Structure 1
Amino acid sequence: MTGYDAVLFDSDGVLVEPPASETQVAATRAAFREAGVDDVARRHLDDIVSGVTVEDLHEICADYDLDPENFWEARERHDERSQFDAFRAGTRDRYDDVTTIADLPQDRGVVSNNHHSTIEFVLDAFDLESLFETYYGRPKTIESLRVKKPDPHFLERALADLGAGSALYVGDSEHDVIAAHRAGIDSAFVRRQHCPDGALSVTPTYDIETLSALPEIVA
């Protein structure tokens, strides 16, 4: 489909470089230490970083006799702080081809699994606010894990904000493609350096190497 009403973008891995896995593991370990737990199984750290569910989080917290709400508040706080520090230090940056977005005639939005407050930080830090009419990240709550992509919840909210009947969602993961399809819109999978040869179980509408391909796609 062409002639889109709107173009939506993921943030990490599409607009800005994604957080390093070890940085997220360190932030999660810091949250455990704050809760009084120094010896944490690596599999539990990896599970939390790689996309923990509400049920899995409760099970992990039960293993260490932790209150899930208190632990998650600490984890999200440490994780967000580590991201802000990386951006400020210049170890995470904006992708150069993001300037292409300014040339698109469609309304634009951001939909991310990252914290809503982190998306606000990114848009401000890299002077991207003027490029987007709406944006969504998730609140830093346990319940927000239920509506992370591939759930289309925040995509649908962005589409409603823009009054878009047809749209394209640009992402860098299989979850992005699935979320787009569940929302009834097209998808573009961008193959950044961290996912150049990734095999997907679902087929995106477009498979691109750079955001510079978008103007021709949405024309």
Structure 2
Amino acid sequence: MTETILLDMDGVVLEGPGTPQSVYDRAADAAVDELGLEPTDRQRAGLRSHGYESVESACAALGTDPREFWRQKEEAASRLAAERIRSGERAFYGDVAALESLAERATLALVSNNRHETATFVADHLSAPFAAARGREPTPEGFRRRKPNPHLLEETLAELGVETGLYVGDRETDAVAAERAGLEAAYLRRSHNADGPLPEAVTYELEGLDDLREVPAER
């Protein structure tokens, strides 16, 4: 089995392919209240958007700093995401239990396009010990450096002091980012990607996290 295993979060350890739009809607509304804004319905829709450009445009119309609004929105989304996990509204996949025994033989890290605060929260709540956890920073630059940009993976490799390993993901962007970072890619099948084509640059196809025990050791 490979000595360093980096794992995506959404769709790999956390059920579901990503944060639902309802969380971003509530996070944007919380930022609106915190900053005392009075957006029109159209402006509120822009502020609720997951993309930074729409938020920036709405903030310009409202005369407020888009970077500050984005930070407030990201922080609120992280709080809401943590509440959903604590309450059980969003659960972990059952096979995350396999990570505890894997951690006895490999260094594990969590690397996600999701927010850094959420990634660290998830890593802390899993029974397996993670040597590192990394997500996007609550800035426009952090949002733009999401996978398939290899930035998050490269930063994590540098933190761990390694250059090789395996990245486990459930999207084509994960495989592309892994290849760009010099990692092998494992594609994990879940219900949301069960019938999709296997992305290029994938070395291993997994039916569950238990299959990681069958991945050969690094040479």
Q: TM-score, normalised by structure 1?
A: 0.82
CA distance change for structure 1 residues 60 and 207 in 2, over 3 Å: closer, same or farther? Answer: farther
Gaps of 5+ in 1: none
Counterparts in 2 of 1:101 and 1:120: CA distance versus 1, 3 Å: same
Q: Is the 8 A contact 2:44 2:58 kept in 1?
A: no
Q: 1:181 corresponds to which residue?
A: 179
Name 2:149's counterpart in structure 1: 151
Kept after mapping to 2: 8 A contact 1:191/1:209: yes
Residues 176-197 of structure 1 show CA distances to partners (whole Å, capped at 9, x for unaligned) of 1111011011111212223322
- Call closer, same or farther: CA 1:93–1:202 in 2, change over 3 Å: same
Question: What does residue range 42-191 of structure 1 map to in structure 2 within 5 Å?
Answer: 44=46, 48-49=49-50, 52-53=51-52, 57-104=55-102, 105-128=105-128, 130=129, 132-191=130-189
Distance 1:173 1:43 in 2: 27
In 1: Cα distance, 2:63 partner to 2:196 partner = 38
The aligned residue for residue 27 of structure 1 is 27
Q: State the 1:205 CA deviation.
A: 2.0
For these two proteins, the number of residue pairs brought into alignment is 211
Q: Name whichever of 20-29 and 113-122 sits farther off.
A: 20-29
The CA deviation at 1:99 is 1.6
User: What is the RMSD computed on CA atoms of the aligned residues?
Assistant: 2.6
Distance 1:125 1:6, change over 3 A: closer
Q: Which has the higher contact order (CA 8 A, sep 6+)?
A: 1
Query: 1:201: how far off?
Result: 5.8
SS in 1 for 2:205: strand
Matched residue, 1:40: 42
Question: How far 1:216 moved relative to its partner?
Answer: 0.4
Give 1:184's aligned amino acid. Answer: G
Give the aligned partner of residue 206 of structure 2. Answer: 208
* Structure 2 residue identity aligned to 1:13: G
Unaligned runs of 5+ in 2: none
- For residues 91 and 192 of structure 2, the distance between their equivalents in structure 1, rounded to whole angstroms, comes to 14
Q: What CA distance in whole angstroms lies between the structure 1 residues aligned with 2:132 and 2:123?
A: 11
In 2, Cα distance between the equivalents of 1:86 and 1:217? Answer: 33
Alpha carbons of 1:197 and 1:43: their partners in 2 closer, same or farther (altered >3 Å)? farther
